[in-house]
Amino acid sequence: MKPPSFRYFAARSADEAVGLLAEHGAGARVLAGGQSLVQEMNARRVAPEVLVDVNPAAELAFVRQENGTLSIGALTRTSQVESDATLDGSLTGLREAAARVGHVAVRNRGTVGGNLAHADPAANLPPVMLALDAEVVARGSGGDRSISAANFFLGPHRTALAPAELLTEVRLPLPPEGAGSAFIEVSRRDRGWGIAGAAAVVALDREGGISDARIGLSGVGPTAVRARPAEEVVIGERPSAELWKAAAGAAAAALDAPPSDVHASGRYRRHLAGVLVARALAAAADRAERRN
Amino acid sequence: MHQEDIVIVTLKVNGVERPLAVEPRRLLCDALREDLGLTGTNLGCEQGVCGSCTVLVDGESVRSCLMFAVQAGGCEITTVEGLASGETLHPLQAAFWEKQALQCGFCTPGFLMAGVELLRRNPEPDEAGVRAALAGNTCRCTGYEHIVDAVLAAADGAARERTFAEEPEVDVAAEVVAREGR
């Protein structure tokens, strides 16, 4: 179908976008990559009165590493993260997750900020941001505030952003030297919508023991979630197949009613979450070992 | 529709600047097809899933059903009409011909644009790379095998250059004219 009519405003800066959002109120939506919003407009599931197009705001597209922090501008295309070799090393999992956000043409347009702000429970980047302890920067008419990823996702397509706030960037502390990360998902078709996904970051100490581990899961609840019980199982231990299996069991057991839909039953999602936790931990630990 | 809702935008399509007056809700695919008459770009699902409407915007593949025409002002847009050079097919089009990589042809423009982008980014892809790059395009006829073969053949330079003029036997219009004397 064709989208309903709307009033269109091109914002050439983040501040201009924030001003337009404040001026037009609750009927205004931010248009970034459009890979979810325009689809929903075409299907007439949403009909915003005003679209504030942030694509001209080039200042929002960047990937920077400085002072131990990685900052990614909200307008950075998923394909840019996927192909950014400076993220190799401890952030390989972020590249892997970006490389699986839909197909090439979707990644060419879809943005990091859009993937987070759309807050789809099955999206790839939210669990990665949970595992990387990221914070989201939101700009409103009163200035910037930061929201931890743990507090950002409130429910399916619901976030802590106020209606007139713009997600401008995501920041995360670089994992320690010698950490490894991975993202793995299962979908019915290659790069199709994920049934469930797992992101893991594993840091090893000098003796090869696991000094830190963080795990994020997608597709198993109303938002992406941390798999803390699985993290507790592995921290302080040495990597082994048995350990990953124990973590898988802990992750699966701790889930609160994974959803059932046409793609998979809740029971299957619970099983899958465990399998993915084990695989993501194994891959992240393997990468960490190679780097040490 | 109010007059003030009309936006003037200039699209540069296949190297030619085309000024347009459109509503903001005009999708890029509809501007190309309805306003500019470039009907080579086909619309399948209109929800970003099938890949039929894939065009290149500043060299990168996009779903033209998920972009508004007003967003494409100042961009270089390439559609399937921009691939051939006069009578000479683009090497990937020639490879599709050689390998019989189409049946009904509806999805073909989208596959060609995705394939052109792939070969520009990676001139020597392996089969897995081709399949990954084309995974966002749906074909309901071919089973994909010949499409993958064609992209690999184009990468190998195996498909020889071919022009329409070399193929008088498939010039249906000329046959009709000859038969019916029109």
What is the tens place of the pLDDT at every residue in B37-88? 999 999 999 999 999 999 999 999 999 999 999 999 999 999 999 999 999 9
Band the pLDDT of B157: cuts 50, 70, 90.
confident
Higher pLDDT, B3 or A235: A235
Per-residue pLDDT at A64: 97
Contact B68 A4 (CB under 8 A): no
Q: In this structure, what are the phi and psi dihedrals at residue A168, rounded to the nearest 5 degrees? A: -105, -30
**Cα→Cα distances B170→B135, B165, B173, B175, Å:** 32, 10, 9, 9
Distance from CA of A56 to the nearest CA of B (A): 9
Domain that holds residue A38: 7-53
Q: Any idea which of A93-107, A264-278, B158-172 has the lowest mean pLDDT? A: B158-172
Q: In this structure, what are the phi and psi dihedrals at residue A59, rounded to the nearest 5 degrees? A: -65, -15
Tell me which H or E stretch contains A181.
strand A179-187
Contact A108 B60 (CB under 8 A): yes
Maximum distance among all Cα pairs of chain B, rounded to whole angstroms: 55
Chain A CB contacts of B30 under 8 Å are 2
Chain B CB contacts of A43 under 8 Å are 47
Contact A6 B117 (CB under 8 A): no
Per-residue pLDDT at B176: 60
Q: Which residue of A has its CA nearest to B48?
A: A39
Short-list A166, A101, A97, CA closest to A136: A166
Q: In this structure, what are the phi and psi dihedrals at residue A64, rounded to the nearest 5 degrees? A: -130, 140
Are A48 and A93 in a shared domain?
no
Chain A CB contacts of B47 under 8 Å are 39, 42-43
With respect to residue A204, please indicate whether it lies within any of the assigned structural domains: yes
pLDDT surpasses 60 at B7: yes
Contact A106 B68 (CB under 8 A): no
- The model's pLDDT over A107-122, given as tens digits with 9 standing for 90+, comes to 999 999 999 999 999 9
Band the pLDDT of B177: cuts 50, 70, 90.
low
Give dist(CA B118, CA A195) in Å, integer.
27
Are A166 and A204 in a shared domain?
no
The b/e string for A29-51 (b: 16+ C-beta within 10 A; e otherwise) is bbbbbbbbbbbbbbeeeeebebb
**Average pLDDT of the segment spanning B156-161:** 62
Percent of chain A with pLDDT over 70: 100
| Mean pLDDT rounded to a whole number for chain A | 96
> Where among A128, A158, A173 does a domain terminate?
A173
Distance from CA of B169 to the nearest CA of A (A): 37
Are A65 and A163 in a shared domain?
yes
Contact B24 A190 (CB under 8 A): no
Per-residue pLDDT at A188: 87
The structure tokens listed for B89 are: 């097919």
Are A184 and A280 in a shared domain?
yes
Distance from CA of A39 to the nearest CA of B (A): 5
> Where among A128, A152, A173 does a domain terminate?
A173
ipTM, interface predicted TM-score of the complex:
0.94
Are A71 and A163 in a shared domain?
yes
Per-residue pLDDT at B70: 98
Distance from CA of B113 to the nearest CA of A (A): 10
Band the pLDDT of B172: cuts 50, 70, 90.
low
Are A218 and A284 in a shared domain?
yes
pLDDT surpasses 50 at B168: no
Are A163 and A191 in a shared domain?
no
**Average pLDDT of the segment spanning A57-65:** 97
The three-state DSSP-derived secondary structure of chain B is: CCHHHCEEEEEEECCEEEEEEECCCCEHHHHHHHHCCCCCCCCCCCCCCCCCCEEEECCEEEEHHHCEHHHHCCCEEECHHHCCECCECCHHHHHHHHCCCCCCCCCHHHHHHHHHHHHHHCCCCCHHHHHHHHCCCCCCCCCCHHHHHHHHHHHHCCCCCCEHHHCHHHCHHHHHHHHHCC
With respect to residue A199, please indicate whether it lies within any of the assigned structural domains: yes
Are A138 and A202 in a shared domain?
no
Distance from CA of B5 to the nearest CA of A (A): 7
Are A213 and A253 in a shared domain?
yes
For residue B115, count other CB atoms closer than 10 A to its CB: 29
pLDDT surpasses 70 at A60: yes
Interface probe with B: pick from A1, A20, A38, most Cβ of B within 10 Å: A38
Chain A CB contacts of B66 under 8 Å are 34-35, 38-39, 42, 109
Distance from CA of B62 to the nearest CA of A (A): 5
The structure tokens listed for A84 are: 């950014």
Q: Calculate ∠ Cα B173-B178-B182, nearest 5°.
A: 80
Short-list B61, B108, B64, B62, CA closest to B89: B108
Strands A69-73 and A63-66: antiparallel
The b/e string for A126-137 (b: 16+ C-beta within 10 A; e otherwise) is bbbbbbbbbbbb
pLDDT surpasses 90 at B182: no
Are A197 and A266 in a shared domain?
yes
Comparing CB atoms, the residue among A1, A8, A103 nearest residue B70 is A8
CATH code of A13's domain:
3.30.43.10
Contact A8 B47 (CB under 8 A): no
- The model's pLDDT over B119-144, given as tens digits with 9 standing for 90+, comes to 999 999 999 999 999 999 999 999 99
- The model's pLDDT over B88-113, given as tens digits with 9 standing for 90+, comes to 999 999 999 999 999 999 999 999 99
Contact B25 A42 (CB under 8 A): no
**Cα→Cα distances A272→A195, A245, A275, B147, Å:** 9, 12, 5, 33
Comparing CB atoms, the residue among B54, B60, B66 nearest residue A35 is B66
**Cα→Cα distances A73→A9, A92, A105, B68, Å:** 21, 18, 20, 23
Percent of chain A with pLDDT over 90: 94
With respect to residue A137, please indicate whether it lies within any of the assigned structural domains: yes
pLDDT surpasses 80 at B163: no
Per-residue pLDDT at B129: 95
pLDDT surpasses 90 at A77: yes
B49 CB-near residues (< 8 Å, 6+ apart): B138
Q: What are the structural domains of chain B?
A: 3-82 (3.10.20.30), 91-166 (1.10.150.120)
Per-residue pLDDT at A279: 98
Q: Calculate ∠ Cα B141-B146-B147, nearest 5°.
A: 80
Give dist(CA A132, CA A175) in Å, integer.
7
Looking at the structure of chain A, the number of domains it has is 3
pLDDT surpasses 90 at A292: no
Band the pLDDT of B3: cuts 50, 70, 90.
low
The chain A residues in contact with chain B (CB within 8 A) are 1-8, 10, 31, 34-35, 38-39, 41-43, 51, 53, 55, 79, 102-106, 108-109, 189-191
pLDDT surpasses 70 at A236: yes
Give dist(CA B79, CA B43) in Å, integer.
13
